[in-house]
Structure 1
Amino acid sequence: MGLPVIDISELAASDPAARRAVGDALRAACLEHGFFYCTGHGVPQGLIDAAMAQTQALFDLPDAAKLALDKAQSPANRGYEHLGGQTLQPGAMPDRKEGFYIGEDLAPDHPRVMAGAFNSGANLWPDDLPGFRPVMVAYFAALNVVAARLMQGLALSLELPEDHFSAFTTDPAATLRLLHYPPSRPEVPDELGAGAHTDFGGLTILLQDDNGGLQVMGQDGWIEAPPVPGAYVVNLGDMIARWTNDRYRSTLHRVINRSGNERYSIPFFYSGNPDHEVRCLPTCLAEGEQPKYPPVRVQDHLRAMYARTYAAAS
C-alpha cells in the first residue's frame, strides 16, 4: 500500500470540525508511516517550476563555478557539496548525489549569528544565475508558511490546542537543500543515491521531479514514493519522534535513481526555533510510561546529528 494523500487546505477553514478532520488524517499517517503526500498547500505552481528550473541550472554550471561556492567556506554550512560528500547510511558507500544548501540569509550582526547559533549566517549565491537568488528566497518563504500550517495540523492530530507549537514556529530555522542525483551505475550495484536514513529535524517537505527513486521503509519492506502531481512528500524527522516519545514515526528512507535520467529534488528541512526546548509531550505518555529522551534545545539536537553524519562520511 502506498503513502496516504492528505489535503491540508481545510486547516485554514473557519469550521473547527473541518480542521480536526485534517488532524485526524495526519494522526493516522504519522502513526503508520511518518510519511504522507501533502496537497492543498497553496504554493503557486509557477514558483515550484521556477525553483526546479533554477536547481537544474545550478547543477549545470561548470565544476569550477560550483566549487567556488563550496560549503567548506561557510561557517553556516551553506553552499555547494560535491558528489559523494555525504554518507547517510553507516557502512555504505558515499551517496551518489551533489547538493547545495540554502538557509535564512542572516548578516554577521544578526543576534542569532552573534550568539553562535548552529548553522546561522549568510548564504553563498552563484554570480552566473541572476534569477537564482530571488526564486530561492521566495520559495524558502513559501515553504516556511506551509511548515507552520503543518505544525498546526500536528497539534490537532495530538489533540493539543492548534497554537501549541507557536513558539517552535516563531523565528524558525530551516534548510533548503537542492539535490542532483546522477543515474545509478549498473557496475556499482551497492551504490545508493541517498543511503537509508531518518531526517534530523522537525518536518521535511520534499519536491521531486518526474523520475522517482524515493523509497520509504514499510512493515513489509521498501515502499515506492513516486512523484504525485501538485503534491509534496512530507515526513517527520527525529525531533518529532523524540517529542512524541516515538509515538509518531521518523521513518527510514532512501533514494536509488534507476530512471536512467538526471534526477533533481528539493527537500526543505524545517527545524523550528533554534532555542526552543523539545521536551516529551505528556499526552504522548501512557500511564506509568517514562520519557525515553531528556529535554534538548533544537540547535543542540541538530548539532549532534550533523556531527554524527559527517563523521560517517570522513
Structure 2
Amino acid sequence: MHKESTAVRPAPTLPLIDVAALRDGDAAARHAVGRQLRDACETRGFFYIRNHGIAPELIDRAFDEAERFFDQPMDDKLALNKALSRCNRGYEPLRAQTLERDAPPDLKEGFYIGQDLTEDDPRVRAGKFNHGPNMWPEGLPGFRSTMEAYFTEVFALGEVLMRGLALSLDLPEHHFRPFLADAMATLRLLHYPPQPPNPSPGEKGCGAHTDFGSLTLLMQDDSGGLQVWDAASSGWIDAPPVPGTYVVNIGDLIARWTNGRYRSTLHRVINVSGRERHSIPFFLTGNPDHVVECLPTCLAPGELPLHPPITVEQHLAECYRRTYA
C-alpha cells in the first residue's frame, strides 16, 4: 500500500498521444502509436489522447444534457433510482458509493447508462450481470438520443484504442476482437458539488481507487480536480482538462491480463474549484463470457501468471460487491 504525501505535485505530467493514425494511418504509423501506448501504460497507466475523432458538438451536447438532468428536482431524479434497476442503471444519489476503503462515501451523484437490452433479450433472461434496460428521464427531450449517440461514438473509440493496445503488446492488431464482441460498457454521468469548507476527514468527491474494467475514457469539464497517484514521487499529480482531449486510463482487467506489466493506477477527485463539476467517464469492460488469462507476450521465460483465469463477468461482479458493500 502506498504512503500518501500531503502535497500534490504539479509535475510530472501525463503523456499526450495523438491516436489519429490508429484509424487511418499506415502500418508503420499505427505501430508507432502502439509504442507510445506501451510506454504510457507501463509507466503511468494514464494518458491523454488527441485527434480522437469525436465531434466537439456531440461532447458539448452530452455535457448540456447531463447538467439538465442533475438540475432536476430530487423527486424526479429519485424516480430513476438505481436501486430500482436489476442491472445497475439509473440515478445514484450523493454518497451512495464508497470507492476508497476506510474513507467517507463519495461526494458525487451519478447516472448510469449501458447497452439498452429488452427484458426478453436472451442475455437478460439468463441473468447476466449488468444486462438489461436503461432507465430514461421523462420531460428531458433530447437526453436519450444524445446519450445513445455519444455512447456509440465513444464505444467505437474504445475499439480503436484496443487495437492500439494489441499492437503495443506485440499482438495482432485485431487480437481483442472476440473480447469486444457484445462487450459490456457503461456511460456514467457525474456531478460533484464543491468540496465543503470543512469536510469530514478523508471526504472527497471520489475516493482513491482503480477502475474495474479494461479502458476508461474520461471527458471532464474545466473545473479540474482529477488527481493521479505517481509511484515514482509517492505523491498525487494533477490531471487537468486539456482542450480537445480525453483522459484515458488502464483498468484492473488489463493489468490482470498483462500480468501487472500495464498499470491500473490509483486516482481520485477533489473538487476544490468552488463550483459544480461535471464529468462523463465511459467504462469499456468487455464480453462477459470472455476468459481473461495472462497474455503470452507478458510472460518472461520461466515466469508464472500472477492470477488464475477469470471471466469478465466474474471479475466485474466481484468489483461491484467490494464498492457497494
Per the TM alignment, residue 13 of structure 1 is displaced from its structure 2 partner at its CA by: 2.8
Q: CA–CA distance in 2 between the matches of 1:185 and 1:294? A: 43
Q: CA–CA distance in 1 between the matches of 2:31 and 2:190? A: 35
2:226 aligned residue (165, 189, 214): 214
Q: CA–CA distance in 2 between the matches of 1:224 and 1:212? A: 8
The answer to whether the 8 Å contact 1:152/1:163 transfers is yes
Per the TM alignment, residue 176 of structure 1 is displaced from its structure 2 partner at its CA by: 0.4
Q: CA–CA distance in 2 between the matches of 1:279 and 1:172? A: 17
Task: Describe how 1:212-291 pairs up with structure 2 within 5 A.
Answer: 212-218=224-230, 219-220=232-233, 221-291=235-305
Per the TM alignment, residue 70 of structure 1 is displaced from its structure 2 partner at its CA by: 0.2
Q: Cα RMSD over matched residues? A: 0.7
Partner of 1:18 in structure 2?
Answer: 29
* Alignment coverage as a number of residue pairs: 311
SS at match of 1:270: strand
Per the TM alignment, residue 228 of structure 1 is displaced from its structure 2 partner at its CA by: 0.5
Equivalent residue letter for 1:200: F
Relative to structure 2, which stretch is displaced further, 284-293 or 8-17? 8-17
Q: With structure 1 as the length reference, what TM-score do the two structures score?
A: 0.98
Q: With structure 2 as the length reference, what TM-score do the two structures score?
A: 0.95
The answer to whether the 8 Å contact 1:4/1:36 transfers is yes
Per the TM alignment, residue 12 of structure 1 is displaced from its structure 2 partner at its CA by: 1.9
Task: Point out where structure 1 has 5 or more consecutive residues left out of the alignment.
Answer: none
Per the TM alignment, residue 282 of structure 1 is displaced from its structure 2 partner at its CA by: 1.3
Q: CA–CA distance in 2 between the matches of 1:112 and 1:228? A: 39
Q: CA–CA distance in 1 between the matches of 2:214 and 2:146? A: 24
CA deviation string 1:206-256 (max 9, x = no partner): 010000000000121111000000100000000000000000000000000
The answer to whether the 8 Å contact 1:82/1:99 transfers is yes
The answer to whether the 8 Å contact 1:185/1:191 transfers is no
Per the TM alignment, residue 14 of structure 1 is displaced from its structure 2 partner at its CA by: 4.5
Equivalent residue letter for 1:211: S
Calculate percent identity across the aligned residue pairs: 62
CA deviation string 1:58-88 (max 9, x = no partner): 0000000000100010001000000000010
Per the TM alignment, residue 284 of structure 1 is displaced from its structure 2 partner at its CA by: 0.3
Partner of 1:60 in structure 2?
Answer: 71
SS at match of 2:306: coil
Q: CA–CA distance in 1 between the matches of 2:273 and 2:25? A: 44
Task: Point out where structure 2 has 5 or more consecutive residues left out of the alignment.
Answer: 1-11
Equivalent residue letter for 1:28: D
Relative to structure 2, which stretch is displaced further, 133-142 or 189-198? 189-198
The answer to whether the 8 Å contact 1:105/1:122 transfers is yes
The answer to whether the 8 Å contact 1:10/1:19 transfers is yes
Q: CA–CA distance in 1 between the matches of 2:253 and 2:25? A: 30
Relative to structure 2, which stretch is displaced further, 257-266 or 184-193? 184-193
Matched, 1:158 2:169: yes
Partner of 2:38 in structure 1?
Answer: 27
Per the TM alignment, residue 260 of structure 1 is displaced from its structure 2 partner at its CA by: 0.1
Partner of 2:57 in structure 1?
Answer: 46
Matched, 1:146 2:160: no
Per the TM alignment, residue 190 of structure 1 is displaced from its structure 2 partner at its CA by: 2.8
Q: CA–CA distance in 2 between the matches of 1:302 and 1:145? A: 21
Q: CA–CA distance in 1 between the matches of 2:180 and 2:120? A: 22
The answer to whether the 8 Å contact 1:153/1:162 transfers is yes
Partner of 1:133 in structure 2?
Answer: 144
The answer to whether the 8 Å contact 1:184/1:193 transfers is yes
SS at match of 1:69: coil
SS at match of 1:264: strand
Partner of 1:103 in structure 2?
Answer: 114
Matched, 1:178 2:189: yes
2:94 aligned residue (70, 83, 88): 83
Q: CA–CA distance in 2 between the matches of 1:12 and 1:234? A: 17
